[in-house]
Chains A and B, each alone.
Chain A
Amino acid sequence: MAASVYRLPDEPLPSGLSRYAVDPVWPLLSVMLAGSGFGLLWFGFNSLAIGSPTRWREWLCIGLSAVGSPLLLFALLLCEQNGWLQGAQLRYAFLSILLLKLGMAYAVYLMQQRCFEIWEYYGGQARNGLPLMILLAVVGRGALGAVQLPALLSVILQ
């Protein structure tokens, strides 16, 4: 039989960055421990590294998280200023920002995980993401805390 092989729609695309690919659990942990800014950027890069066929959907989720959280913050602050939400109500409402970020991070994780398993099946060798995750959680998060950022930017990164 000749060498031409049919390509399955969920197979990873070839990528020159594959030597930097990591298990998507590390970017997910970075979202939780180092802040969504670092974690989502890592997710975005990892989708290129593993050649994820769902990369556009993943980037859309990352964009939704990055745009949605300041919008939610803006809306909640508006509610506070107008006296529509106060005290504990406001604290409950702030959970929506956390939920949006975690929900999007999990969605990207699940999409990447599916591709990552296939990528590994085809012989991909993943790097250990633990050192970078620790670096981001300790140094990156510390740096974010030390710098005075505008509230809307801070809600995207933290």
Chain B
Amino acid sequence: MNDASHGYWLQMAERYYAHGQIDEAIDVLLRLLGEDPDQAGAHAFLALCLVKRKRLHAAALEAARALELEPESPFAHLAAAIVATAGRRFRDAETHLHSARELDPDSASIADAFARLYSAWGRDAQALEEARRACELEPADVDYQALLASLELRRGERRKAEALAREVLAAHPEHVEALCVLGHCELAAGRTDSARDHAAWALQIDPMDGEALTLMAAVKARRSWLLGLWWRFQSYISAGSRTRAVVLLLGIFLLYRIALIALPEHGLSHWAGPLSYLWLGFCAYTWIAPSLFWRSIKRELEQVKLRPGF
């Protein structure tokens, strides 16, 4: 395979990625790497695709391979930073991004990655600064504007966020992040039906997008307290690593068992029965609520018809 052919397949993967066809992009990259496994750019790009599919272990190995092959590549550092951000290893991500910026100071995508890192880290002011920098560096790229809209919404500037999201959607009507921002604005304004339309549209474009699912969940939570409660519980449990989720669940179970021993010790054995029923109810609820939730989301997606004014 020659360089022109490499370039062609990489471009094809990039095009798939840009259109949200991540599996197709992965497929092209695997074939490309099957021919030439020493392509640092392809490894780094594969890492980005794997992050989208939440295969973080493989993504980290691919990013490491890219850096091993080309330690001075800003794109390899950028990919490693994005993987580290997804795995909530914020300090590693920041180190990689500083290295990437030293190699390529005027890159908007590095500013964008910094903004997403700081946003995940809870350093909102720095996130906003980096998002603005990305927009200044590449004003024509709607992705950076959509990120800025999302950060403006996060700090409560709903009007600014809405204006930015509408601007993005005027140029790119299927931009998932902008649709989600606008959906959240609609929900905050009490227009639940319109928010639902935005969420359904975003999920039609990318059914696995986390933001779109969060928006749909927020709409569901507004309509049903039962499912809303489950979603909040689920978000709390699953925020962070899987180890954290296991530790939390085992912690809850341990508390229950400790209470079962402690209650009779303190002369409160009559509370042991209700506590057991409560625990049973909690277990049943965590089994039933997710299937109800996903069934209702699937039903929404099957029925989705956009209103004429949308």
Chain A binding surface, main DSSP class = helix
Q: How far is the CB of B294 from chain A (nearest CB, A)?
A: 15
Q: How far is the CB of B132 from chain A (nearest CB, A)?
A: 37
Task: Determine whether the beta carbon of A106 is less than 8 Å from that of B30.
Answer: no
Contact with B along A2-44 (1 / 0, CB 8 A): 1111111111000000000000000000000000000000000
Q: How far is the CB of A131 from chain B (nearest CB, A)?
A: 18
Whether A98 contacts B249 in the complex (CB less than 8 A), given A10-B57, A88-B265, comes out as no
Task: Determine whether the beta carbon of A5 is less than 8 Å from that of B34.
Answer: yes
Q: How many Å lie between the Cα of A43 and that of B156 in the bound state?
A: 48
A75: interface (CB < 8 Å): no
Task: Determine whether the beta carbon of A10 is less than 8 Å from that of B258.
Answer: no
Q: How many Å lie between the Cα of A100 and that of B246 in the bound state?
A: 12
Instruction: Please tell me the number of chain B residues within 8 Å of chain A, measured between CB atoms.
Output: 29
Q: How many Å lie between the Cα of A8 and that of B58 in the bound state?
A: 7
Residues of A contacting B257 in the complex (Cβ-Cβ under 8 angstroms): 95, 98
Task: Determine whether the beta carbon of A99 is less than 8 Å from that of B250.
Answer: yes
A107: interface (CB < 8 Å): yes
Residues of A contacting B35 in the complex (Cβ-Cβ under 8 angstroms): 1-2, 4
B1: interface (CB < 8 Å): yes
Instruction: Please tell me the number of chain A residues within 8 Å of chain B, measured between CB atoms.
Output: 24
Residues of A contacting B1 in the complex (Cβ-Cβ under 8 angstroms): 1
Task: Determine whether the beta carbon of B249 is less than 8 Å from that of A106.
Answer: yes
Residues of A contacting B57 in the complex (Cβ-Cβ under 8 angstroms): 9-10, 114
Contact with A along B26-62 (1 / 0, CB 8 A): 0001111111010000000010001000010110011
Q: How many Å lie between the Cα of A110 and that of B238 in the bound state?
A: 13
Residues of B contacting A6 in the complex (Cβ-Cβ under 8 angstroms): 29-34, 37
Q: Which B residues have a C-beta under 8 Å from some C-beta of A?
A: 1, 5, 9, 29-35, 37, 46, 50, 55, 57-58, 61-62, 242, 246, 249-250, 253-254, 257-258, 261-262, 265
Q: What are 29 inter-chain pairs, A to B, with CB distance below 8 A?
A: A1-B32, A1-B35, A4-B31, A4-B35, A5-B30, A6-B29, A7-B30, A8-B50, A8-B58, A9-B58, A10-B57, A10-B58, A11-B58, A88-B261, A88-B262, A88-B265, A91-B261, A92-B258, A95-B257, A99-B250, A99-B254, A102-B250, A102-B253, A103-B246, A103-B250, A106-B249, A107-B246, A110-B246, A118-B55
